[in-house]
Amino acid sequence: MVNLIGTYECKADAKGRLMMPVAFKKQLSPVLQDGFVLKRAVFQSCLELYPMAEWNLLMQKINKLNRFKKKNNDFIRKFTAGVKVVEIDAAGRLLIPKDLIGFAEITKDLVLSSAVNIIEIWDKDKYEKAIDDAAVDFADLAEEVMGFDDEIDHD
């Protein structure tokens, strides 16, 4: 499993290519040759870049869903809408397809932000707004999600 660290600003060119930050390239070096999956985020208007191994693990979970339940089929269709296999080229660039640029409303200035095992790709203004909006409730959210001190794992 990849455990990515960092948030970096970069620019997209007119064709939708961005130069992958060197720090991410170094962290991803063991999996660069396997390629990546780029998809729409579920909860925000950003993109998610999955190393292929991480995507395959996620697909194993999704493949266990019973497809004779309509809500499962609807979920799979929505979750995989716009999914693209992408690669980082020899020059270290990643091409973002036009439909995904439109979904994330990406302009020239971008933010690439680690989210544990994936990289989120944001339009810079949208990223700043999402961070500002989340800051208001973050203390409550942190307590709710991580405040389980009475359930400490002593392994």
- Stretch 16-44: mean pLDDT: 93
pLDDT at 151 over 60: no
Residue 71 in this model has a pLDDT that exceeds 60 = yes
pLDDT at 145: 83
Is residue 144's pLDDT more than 90? no
Q: How confident is residue 39, by pLDDT bands cut at 50, 70 and 90? A: very high
Q: Higher pLDDT residue, 112 or 148? A: 112
Long-range pairs for 83-89: beta carbons < 8 A, 24 or more residues apart: 83/37, 83/38, 83/39, 84/37, 84/38, 84/39, 85/35, 85/36, 85/37, 85/38, 86/35, 86/36, 86/37, 86/38, 86/49, 87/35, 87/36, 88/20, 88/25, 88/28, 88/32, 88/36
Which pLDDT band holds residue 141 (cuts at 50, 70, 90)? confident
CA–CA distances in Å: residue 98 to residues 73, 80, 120? 26, 16, 17
Predicted confidence at residue 137, as pLDDT, reads 74
Tens-place pLDDT, residues 82-138: 899 999 998 999 999 999 999 999 999 999 999 999 999 999 999 999 888 776 677
pLDDT band at 1 (very low <50, low <70, confident <90, very high): low
Q: Domain limits of the chain?
A: 7-145
What architecture does CATH give domain 7-145?
A: 3-Layer(aba) Sandwich (3.40)
